[in-house]
Amino acid sequence: MNKTPSITRGFLALLVLLLAVACGGTKKEAALPAGSTVLALGDSLTAPHGVKPGEDWPTLLAQKTGWVVVNAGVSGDTSAGALARLPALLDEHNPQLVLVSLGGNDMLRKLPQAQTVANLGSMLELVKARGARAVLLATPKPSIAGAVFNSLSAADFYADVAKDKKVPLIADALPEVLSDTALKSDQLHPNVAGHALLATRIFEALQKIGFAR
């Protein structure tokens, strides 16, 4: 006969439930089927800058996923410029998912961080208002020490924006690639091998999020 008091059994049941919730983690997003349209909104880190068309990470990501990935990267673009471009891109392509990778040029030009944060937030809100889903990709913060020692890290504000707007964040893909001189064509841009690794890291992150199978 079980002599465990009912209050103890109740406490144990509650503890098991809480552990199950904690271990279960964040619920995964629904996977996008092959043929889905995905918009890669970015700057020269997204555009085929320094590589041939077809060697850029959005094209390589399309090959890995079967999605139609539109490369909407514009060299030199800022968060404000991308925000201005976004409505027309959404109208034209009607994407199911938008990968937002902006802010690097804002930091290089020392634009106010509050302005960058506001622009990124507006982009994510606009994407969701159009019925699409969004993922934010972090750009590394400019750092002399990071460049010298090949240890760049994501700017802190990306995590804040992602949390505030409730969108997934891919924090490490760009900093990892741009920390390795063998993966860069110059101080700022990935080379062919860099774009290939970016595509792999972004694909793996999207699998963890749930968007990619």
Look up tokens 């079967």; give the residue. Answer: 66
44 is catalytic: yes
* Selected catalytic residue, list 44, 79, 101, 179: 44
Count other Cβ atoms within 10 Å, centred on residue 148.
Answer: 8
The neighbouring-strand residues paired with 98 are 39, 134
Indicate the SS3 state at residue 129: helix
36 is catalytic: no
From the candidates 143, 151, 156, 186, give the one annotated as an active-site residue. 186
Q: Of 56, 179, 189, 195, which one is the catalytic site residue?
A: 189
Is residue 130 packed enough to be buried (19+ CB in 10 Å), middle (13-18) or exposed (0-12)? Answer: middle
Distance CA 50, CA 56 (A): 9
Cβ pair 136, 161 in contact under 8 A: yes
What Rg value do the Cα atoms of the chain yield, rounded?
20
Tokens of 41: 């909104």
Joined tokens for residue 89: 């891109």
Strand partners, 101: 42
Active-site positions? 44, 186, 189
